[in-house]
Structure 1
C-alpha cells in the first residue's frame, strides 16, 4: 500500500513555516508522510542552450538551498523529516506537476499570510478561481495560528 502524502510548499514566507508544522504533525498522526516542495523560478531565456541549462542548474541549486535553510530551521519542531523536491518553473504549474508525478500526494497544504494585504499570491491564485482544478483537497493554514492551536487541530 502506498503511503499517503501531504504536499507543502516551501518558500521564504513566515506562513510557510506554519504550513510545514501543520503538514508534518498531521502526517505523523495519520501515518502519512510529507513532501516539501520548492518551486524555483527561472527566466524563459532560451537563446543559447548552454546558458539555459546553466540557469536551470542555478535555479535548482537555489531551490535546494531554500529547502536546506527552511527545513533545518524547522527540524526541532517537526515530528518527521519531509521528503524534498525541487521543480523548476512557474509555481502554479510546478505544484500541479509535483501532484501529477506522485499519485501518493493526497492533500496540498498552503500557509496563508495574515494582514490587510490578503492571504498571499499563492493562496489567492490556488484558492481562488483555480481551486476546482486541483485533483487533491487543499488545506489552508491561517498565518495567525499558534503551534498549540495547530496541535489541537491535527
Structure 2
C-alpha cells in the first residue's frame, strides 16, 4: 500500500470499487461511482464475483458452467461500462473473481492499494439492504481499510447527480 504522501501526489488517482451483479440496485452504485470519478478523478473498478457453490457438478459440466458464468459477467460489465461512458471520459477497470463475495471484495481491496472507496447499493426491500450489504455491515466498521459508501437503491439519478 502506498504511504500517505503517495496518496496526495498529483499522479495518485483513487479507485472506486463497485461490486457488479444482476441486482436492480447495482446500477445505482455504478452511477454514483461514475459521477464521483467524473467530478474528482480516478477510476471505477467493476468487480464481479462467481461464487463457488455455482459449480458443484461433474468436472466437464463445471468447466462449461464456469465459462458461461465468465461470459455472462463480461457482458454485464460491458453494459455497465457503456453506461459509465455516457457520463464522459471515465477510466474503467473490470475484474472477475471467484469465491465468496465478501472474501473476494476483501481480496480486491487488499491487492489493489489504489482502491480508496467501496461503493455498494442497498436493496429496496422490506427484507433488508441485500445480502452483500448486510454481510459487510456484519463485519463491522473496521472490516476494510477503505470507507464503504452505501447508496440507497431507491434514489433517483437526478438526486445522485446533485450529491456528486
User: Which TM bucket (shorter chain)?
Assistant: 0.7 to 0.9
Name which of 16, 23, 27 aligns with 1:6: 16
- 1:45: how far off? 4.8
Name which of 105, 124, 135 aligns with 2:115: 105
Does the aligned pair in 1 maintain the 2:16–2:45 contact within 8 Å? yes
**Distance verdict in 2 for CA 1:59–1:148, change over 3 Å:** same
Number of residue pairs matched by the alignment: 152
Does the aligned pair in 2 maintain the 1:5–1:32 contact within 8 Å? yes
Unpaired runs of 5+ residues, structure 2, are 1-10
Any idea what SS the aligned residue of 1:14 has?
Answer: coil
- 1:31: how far off? 1.4
Q: Does 1:94 align with 2:107?
A: no
TM-score between the two structures when normalised by the length of structure 1 = 0.85
Does the aligned pair in 1 maintain the 2:38–2:87 contact within 8 Å? no
Does the aligned pair in 2 maintain the 1:38–1:87 contact within 8 Å? yes
> Could you report, residue by residue, the CA deviation over 1:95-136 in whole angstroms, capped at 9, with x for unpaired residues?
111111110000000011113121111111112334421111
Unpaired runs of 5+ residues, structure 1, are none
The residue that corresponds to 1:59 in the other structure is 69
RMSD over equivalenced CA pairs, Å: 2.3
TM-score between the two structures when normalised by the length of structure 2 = 0.80
Name which of 124, 137, 157 aligns with 1:114: 124
**Distance verdict in 2 for CA 1:19–1:142, change over 3 Å:** same
Any idea what SS the aligned residue of 1:132 has?
Answer: coil
**Distance verdict in 2 for CA 1:33–1:117, change over 3 Å:** same
The residue that corresponds to 2:137 in the other structure is 127
Q: Give the Cα separation in 2 of the matches to 1:87 and 1:57.
A: 13
**Distance verdict in 2 for CA 1:76–1:27, change over 3 Å:** closer
> Could you report, residue by residue, the CA deviation over 1:22-68 in whole angstroms, capped at 9, with x for unpaired residues?
001101111111101111223365985x7765554443333212212
The residue that corresponds to 1:140 in the other structure is 150
